[in-house]
Structure 1
Amino acid sequence: MSFDNEHTVIRFDIVKNRRKFFLFSGIIIIVGLLFSLIQGFNLGVDFQAGTRLDIYVGKEFNPADIEQILKEKVPEAKFSAVTPYGTHQAFTRFDQTVPSDTMMVIEQALKDKYGDQVTKQVATVDPSIAQEMVKKAAIAVLIASLGIIVYIAFRFQWLFGVATVVGLAHDVIIPIALFSMLGLEVDITFIAAILTILGYSINDKIVIFDRIRENLKTMKSKTVDELEHLVNVSLWQTMRRSIFTVATVFFTAMAIAILGSESIRNFSLALVFGLVSGTYSSIFIAAQVWVNLKERNMLKKKRTPSSPN
C-alpha cells in the first residue's frame, strides 16, 4: 500500500499533545494499582485454593435459601455469596477444599427443595496446585513478553523495543487494574485473555513502527519538528487500519460478553478492556515514548562534540 506523505491529512497533532496522553494513562494506572493494593483481587479457584460450586436449579430460586442449605451442610466452611447467572443457575466459592461426599449431600439437599432436575458442577484446587498455577501463569506472560521484545529489537531497533515494552506493560496493567476495581474474578481464562491481548497489541505496534521506519527513509527527520511531523504522518496513515482491525474483534468480544455463557464472560471482558487499551497504547503511548527517546538521542548527539580528523 502506497502513501502520499506530503498530502496525508493530520486531523489532530497527536505528538504535540503526548504529555496529556501520558498523564491520562498515568492517572488510570495509579488509581488501578491503589485499588489492587487496597481491595486486592477476586481470585478464582485456579489461583486460590478452594472449591467452586456451580448449580443448575432449573426453576426460580432465592439465593438466601441456597446459602442457608450450605450453612447447614458445611457449617465450618466459609463461602462467597451465592450469585445467580444465566437461566436458573448460581455459583459460589468455598475458601477451602470441600470433599466430594459433602458435595453429594449438598446436591441431595438442593434436590429435596427444588426437584430432581438440580445438578451441580464442582471445581476444586488444593493449595499446592493453586501456587503452581500462579507460578506458571506468571512465567507464561513473562516468556511471551520477552519473545516479543527480542523480536522487535531484531526486526527494528532497540528504541522501538523499549517503546514496545512500555506499551505492553500499559496493556497488561489496565485490564488487571479494571478487574480489581470492578471486583471481577481472575482465573485461568483471564491469563489466556492477557496473552491474546499481547498478540493483538504487538501486531498493531509493529504496523505503526514499520510505517515510521519506512517514512524515515523518505522524509526529513534531522530536527525535532521534522521528527514529530514524521510520526504524526505515520500515525494518521495507519489510523484507519488500527481502528478497523480492533473494531472487528471488539464487537465480537462484546457480543460474547453480553450473550455468552458465564464461564467465558470474564475472558471476553478482559479482551474488550485489553483491545481498547492496546489500540490506545499503540497510538498514544508506545509511538510517543519512541519519539521521546529519539529526540533525547538527537539532542545528546548535538551536545557531543565531533572528534577531530
Structure 2
Amino acid sequence: MRSKRSFDFVKTSPFFLSISAVILLIGLVFVGIFGMNYGIDFSSGTSVDVTTSKTLDEAQVKEFLNKQQLGDYTLAPGEKRESIRFKTALDENQEKQFKADFQAALDPNASFEINIVDVDIAKEQETNALIGLAVASLGIMIYVSIRFEWRFALGAIISTVYDALFVICMFSIFRLEVNLPFILAVLTIIGYSINDTIVIFDRIRENLRFAKIKSHADLERLVNDSIWQTLARSINTVITVLIAAVCLFIFGGESIKLFSLAMIFGLASGAYSSIFIASQIWLFLKKKQPIKKVAVKPQSANTP
C-alpha cells in the first residue's frame, strides 16, 4: 500500500547523510587528538566507593583528597556516598592510611569498597572489549546475510558501526568516562539498532515480493513507503526505551548514569541510522543491479 505522506526519506537522505558524516568526522578528530577518557577499567588506577553515615560537603571532601597527595582523582559525590577514582594504583599501606584518615577527618562510621586495577589487567579488559564488539558485528553480518541478502547485511553493519562510533565520539567530545558499563551499553545499542533495522528490511523485502519494479523511481518509492509503514512502530519503541533510559539517568546511582547516557545517545542514533543509513545503503546497492524486465508475449492475430 502506497504511503500518502509528503515527507520523502529517500530524497532527503543525502542531506542527513552529509550531517552524519560531518558529526562523525568531528568526533573522530576529537578521538584522534584527545583520545578517550578511560576509567580505571581500561587504565591502571584505584576505585574507592565510600558509604557514609551522613551527607558530606563536596568542598570538604575535595580539601581532604588534596591533602592526601595520592595523585590525580575524580570525585562523584552523592547522598551518603562518595565515588572517588584515583589515576594511580594504591598500595596496601596507602589504602590503609586513606581509610584511617577519611574516618578521622570526615566520618568515623564510613565503610569502603576499594578496587585496584593494574596495567596488565586494564590492557586485557580493553582487548576483550574490542574483541567482543568485533564478534558481535561479525555475527550480525552473518545473520542478516543468511536471513536476507548481502546488500541488507552491508547496510545493517554500516549503520550499526555508525551507531557505535557515534556514541564513542560523543563520549570523547564531552570527555565522559569510558568503563565496562559503557561497553555493555554499546553492545546493547548494537542489538537494539539491528532489531530496528531488520524491521524496516523485513517490510522492504515483503513489499519487494509483490511490487512491479520497472525503474529506479519505483525502488525509491518502495523504500520510502516501507519506512513510513514501520515508522509508528519505530517511534513507539524508541520513545518507550528512551523514557526508561532517561529515568535511569536521572534517578539511578552514579555507577549507572554513564551507562544510561550512552544508551540515550545510542537509542537516538539507532532509530536515525535505520532510516537514513541502512535502508539508503541497500537502495544504493540495489540500483546497481540491472532491473529485470518482464517479457511480454505477443498476442496472436485472430484468424478469420
Same fold, TM exceeding 0.5? yes
Kindly provide the amino acid, as one letter, of the partner of residue 117 in structure 1. N
Which residue of 1 is the match for residue 136 of structure 2? Answer: 144
More deviation, 259-268/101-110: 101-110
Matching of residues 245-256 of structure 1 within 5 Å:
245-256=237-248
2:182 and 2:75 map into 1 onto residues whose CA distance is: 22
Distance in 2 (alpha carbons) for counterparts of 1:151 and 1:118: 51
**Deviation, structure 1 residue 39:** 2.2
Map 1:28-39 → 2, pairs under 5 A: 28-39=23-34
After TM superposition, the structure 1 = structure 2 runs for residues 160-171 of structure 1, keeping only pairs within 5 Å, are 160-171=152-163
Give per-residue Cα distances to partners, 1:174-219, cap 9 Å, x unaligned.
1111111111111001111111111111111111001001111111
Q: What's the counterpart of residue 294 of structure 1? A: 286
Q: Answer with 118-127 or 203-212: which moved more.
A: 118-127
What's 1:27 paired with? 22
| Structure 2 counterpart of 1:196, from 164, 169, 188 | 188
Aligned counterpart, 2:296: none
Determine if contact 1:49/1:125 at 8 Å carries over to the other structure.
yes
Counterpart contact for 1:58–1:117, Cα < 8 Å? yes
Report if aligned partners of 2:242, 2:267 keep a CA contact under 8 Å in 1.
yes
- Name structure 1 gaps, 5 residues minimum: 303-309
Question: What's the counterpart of residue 121 of structure 1?
Answer: 113
1:19 partner letter? P
Distance 2:214 2:157 in 1: 26
Q: 1:33 offset after TM fit, Å?
A: 0.9
Aligned alpha-carbon RMSD (Å) = 1.9
3-state SS in 1 of match to 2:288:
helix
Q: Which residue of 1 aligns with 2:86?
A: 94
**Which of 19, 36, 56 does residue 41 from structure 1 map onto?**
36
What's the CA shift for 1:69? 3.7
2:61 maps to 66
Cα distance in structure 2, aligned partners of 1:52 and 1:115:
19
Q: Determine whether 1:50 maps to 2:42.
A: no
Give the corresponding residue for 1:9. Answer: 4
Please tell me whether the aligned partners of residues 193 and 270 of structure 2 are also in contact (alpha carbons under 8 angstroms): yes
Give the counterpart of 2:72 among 79, 84, 89.
Answer: 79
1:219 pairs with one of 203, 211, 218: 211
Quote the residue 1:239 is aligned against: 231
**Distance in 1 between residues matched to 2:198 and 2:261, nearest whole Å:** 25
Query: 1:70 touches 1:106 (CA, 8 Å); kept in 2?
Result: no
Q: Which runs of 5+ in 2 are unaligned?
A: 294-304
Q: TM-score, normalized by length of structure 2?
A: 0.91
Task: Name the amino acid aligned to 2:39.
Answer: G
Of all paired residues, the percent bearing the same amino acid is 41
Structure 2 residue aligned with 1:185:
177
Q: Is 1:41–1:180's contact at 8 Å kept on the other side of the alignment?
A: yes
Instruction: Give the whole-Å Cα distance in 1 for the aligned partners of 2:288 and 2:73.
Output: 52
Give the distance between the partners of 2:122 and 2:9, measured in 1 at CA.
44
Name 2:250's counterpart in structure 1. 258
Distance apart, 1:43 and its partner CA: 0.7
Partners of 2:287 and 2:80 in 1: how far apart? Answer: 60
Aligned 8 A contact 1:69 1:106 in 2: no
Distance 2:57 2:237 in 1: 44
- Give the deviation of 1:289 after TM superposition: 1.1
Q: Tell me the residue number matched to 1:307.
A: none
CA shift at 1:66, angstroms? Answer: 3.5
Larger radius of gyration: 2
- Residues 116-171 of structure 1: CA deviation (Å, up to 9, x unaligned): 22222212111111111011001111111100100101110101111111101111
Q: What is aligned with 1:305?
A: none
Q: How many residue pairs get matched?
A: 293
